[in-house]
Amino acid sequence: MGRYVFKLPDVGEGTAEAEIVAWHVKVGDVIHEDQNLVDVMTDKATVEMTSPVSGKVVALNGAPGEMAAVGSALVELEVEGAGNVKANGGAPVKAVPAKAAAPKVEAKAPEAKPAPAEHANPAGMKAAFATRAEGDKPLASPAVRQRARDMGIELQYVPGSGPAGRIGHEDLDKYVASGGRSARGGGGSSYAQREGVEEVKVIGLRRKIAQKMQDSKRRIPHYAYIDEIDMTELEALRAHLNDTRRAGQPKLNVLPFLMRALVKVLPLYPQINARFDDEAGAVHRHAAVHIGIATQTANGLIVPVVRHAEARDIWDSASEVARVAALARDNKASTGDLTGSTITVTSLGALGGLATTPVINHPEVAIIGPNAIIERPVVRQGQIVVRKMMNLSSSFDHRVVDGYDAAAFIQKVKALLEHPATLFMD
């Protein structure tokens, strides 16, 4: 019998550490080769770690939410044969979690203490009601009923501790003390008060999102710019293209047109299609336009990347957006699918709203957020006419993009979208 230590391998692109998301085995499990041991998450992707050997799990190092350094021991197994460490090496290899201390503290000391059990436990409430059959009038003496009425409390929400669920004065007092609502004026509300606090650990992708957002907002002085765009003509074109598309061509939404506009204008504003390495003090202006597509997935926000958008036509852009978004939603995006964008587009589609103040996807320096298209009355040549209007929201890193340039950039985008033929002219 030997001992085999499974160490966190290099999961790509110079990753130094990964977060443990979920264990799939526990100590004592007998596992076979290729069995999934643990999910870890790097900056960009969640990766399943499978066991290279068969054996019995004797130790797991790290809890979900903790960071593990590349090369640190994740799992120790008892295996047939020699294993990869000396059996007489004695003590199990200690895990060397990278920067583990800080996250550990975070994980073990939740900021908000859950409310006292009496409030938080809705089951306690139910027990008190169990003695009162559904649909029963609450059982209480006339004096208790009167007092409840004076306090504006509906007795059907007050747990009765007496026989047959009878509500006494002390039950009423307890209900009020526990924060049961006493209506402020009026005859009392018939809505029940909700109790309880659920603690949700901010781990995995959620923590990643939190860190990214925090980082972006802390580092980048955002400059937001919003203008409205008359989309009437583009919408007519889009409807026509959708009606006449060939088999195999994707249905077009606004996004590929916006991407087309961006790739046409960005060469004029190279400081916007850039990544700012503020620690090194250098802006890397990219010739290629790799557009991040902010995508909502079941687990949260992910930004897959459409590479070389400048080289894609409308149809190709639409297909590629659909492809990478699907990968992200199905949790199949590779690290490569998720890295390297030079500018990001964030669209809420039908939920677009009037305006947004999008958060820049650091280290990029700009993000563009189209809002909803709405028919609005606008004035054209002294006449009020109904046009399909869309606001275009955007944020820029004001350290490296001047407001003037940002505005001029958006105006050029606007001009292209309002005259859609120009999108396709060189």
Partner 1 sequence: MAETIHTKVLVIGGGPGGYVAAIRSGQLGLETVLVEAARLGGTCLNIGCIPSKAIIHVAGEFEAMAHAAKAPLHGIALKTAPAIDFAETVKWKDRVVKRLNTGVAALLKRAKVRVVQGWATFSDGKNCTVDTKDGPVTITAEHVILATGSVPVELPFLKFGGPVISSTEALSLATLPKTLVVVGAGYIGLELGIALRKLGVEVTVVEALDRILPLYDATLVAPVAKWLEKNGVTVHLSAHAKGMAKGKLNVELKDGKTIELAADNVLVTVGRKPATAGWGLENMAVDMAGAFVKIDDQCRTSMKNVWAIGDLAGEPMLEHKAAAQGHMVAEIVAGQKRRFDPASIPAVCFTEPEIVSAGLGPGDDAAKGDDVITALFPFAANGRALAMDAGDTGGFVRVLARKSDHRVLGIQAVGAHVSELSNAFSLALEMGAVLEDIAGTIHIHPTLGEAFHEAALRALGHAIHI
| Per-residue burial over 308-331, b = 16 or more CB atoms within 10 Å of its CB, e = otherwise | ebbebebbbbbbbbbebbebbbee
Question: Among candidates 116, 128, 132, which has minimal Cα distance to 178?
Answer: 116
Question: Among candidates 231, 271, 226, 273, which has minimal Cα distance to 254?
Answer: 231
| Order of strands, sheet of 73-79, starting from the edge strand that comes earlier in the sequence | 2-7, 73-79, 55-60, 30-31
Kindly state the DSSP code that residue 55 receives in the 8-state scheme: E
The only residue of 24, 56, 119, 145 in contact with partner 1, by rule CB under 8 A:
145
402 touching partner 1, by CB under 8 A: no
- Nearest residue (CB) to partner 1, 186 versus 382: 186
- Nearest residue (CB) to partner 1, 103 versus 160: 160
172 touching partner 1, by CB under 8 A: no
Taking the complex as a whole, the smallest distance from the CB of residue 169 to partner 1 amounts, in Å, to: 12
Q: Binding string to partner 1 for residues 82 to 111, with x set by CB under 8 A, is what?
A: ------------------------------
**Please, what is the Cα angle at 96 between 91 and 101, to 5 degrees?**
125
**Please, what is the Cα angle at 123 between 119 and 124, to 5 degrees?**
55
The only residue of 152, 300, 336, 340 in contact with partner 1, by rule CB under 8 A:
152
**Please, what is the Cα angle at 355 between 354 and 356, to 5 degrees?**
140
- Nearest residue (CB) to partner 1, 119 versus 166: 166
The only residue of 187, 248, 281, 382 in contact with partner 1, by rule CB under 8 A:
187
**Strands 295-297, 291-293: parallel, antiparallel or unpaired by DSSP?**
unpaired
Q: Binding string to partner 1 for residues 125 to 144, with x set by CB under 8 A, is what?
A: ------x-x---x-xxxx--
The only residue of 14, 90, 163, 281 in contact with partner 1, by rule CB under 8 A:
163
Question: Among candidates 94, 37, 110, 102, which has minimal Cα distance to 67?
Answer: 102
Question: Among candidates 314, 315, 334, which has minimal Cα distance to 324?
Answer: 334
- Nearest residue (CB) to partner 1, 173 versus 215: 173
Tokens of 397: 């890193």
Taking the complex as a whole, the smallest distance from the CB of residue 171 to partner 1 amounts, in Å, to: 12
- Nearest residue (CB) to partner 1, 143 versus 236: 143
Taking the complex as a whole, the smallest distance from the CB of residue 150 to partner 1 amounts, in Å, to: 6
- Nearest residue (CB) to partner 1, 84 versus 156: 156
184 touching partner 1, by CB under 8 A: no
- Nearest residue (CB) to partner 1, 142 versus 281: 142
The end-to-end CA distance of the chain, in Å, is 71
Taking the complex as a whole, the smallest distance from the CB of residue 145 to partner 1 amounts, in Å, to: 7
Which residues, in sequence order, are bridge partners of residue 231? none
Which residues are CB-neighbours of 79 under 8 A, at least 6 positions away?
A: 1, 2, 3, 4, 53, 54, 55, 56
Which residues, in sequence order, are bridge partners of residue 296? 301
Taking the complex as a whole, the smallest distance from the CB of residue 135 to partner 1 amounts, in Å, to: 10
330 is catalytic: no
In the three-class reduction of DSSP (H, G, I as helix; E, B as strand; rest coil), residue 106 is classed as helix
181 touching partner 1, by CB under 8 A: no
Contact 374, 384 (CB under 8 A): no
Taking the complex as a whole, the smallest distance from the CB of residue 154 to partner 1 amounts, in Å, to: 11
How many residues contact partner 1, by CB under 8 A?
19
The only residue of 94, 149, 201, 284 in contact with partner 1, by rule CB under 8 A:
149
**Spatial separation of the C-alpha atoms in residues 189 and 184, rounded to whole Å:** 9
150 touching partner 1, by CB under 8 A: yes
Selected catalytic residue, list 313, 402, 419, 426: 402
Q: Is 200 exposed, middle or buried (0-12, 13-18, 19+ CB in 10 A)?
A: exposed
- Nearest residue (CB) to partner 1, 121 versus 182: 182
Dihedral, CA of residue 356, residue 362, residue 278 and residue 366, to nearest 10 = -50
Taking the complex as a whole, the smallest distance from the CB of residue 163 to partner 1 amounts, in Å, to: 4
Tokens of 100: 């583990």
Rounded to 10°, the helix 403-418/232-244 angle is 50
Taking the complex as a whole, the smallest distance from the CB of residue 32 to partner 1 amounts, in Å, to: 55
398 is catalytic: yes
Selected catalytic residue, list 330, 398, 419, 426: 398
Q: Which residues of this chain interact with partner 1, rule CB under 8 A?
A: 131, 133, 137, 139-142, 145-146, 149-150, 152, 162-167, 187
Residues annotated catalytic, as ranges? 398, 402
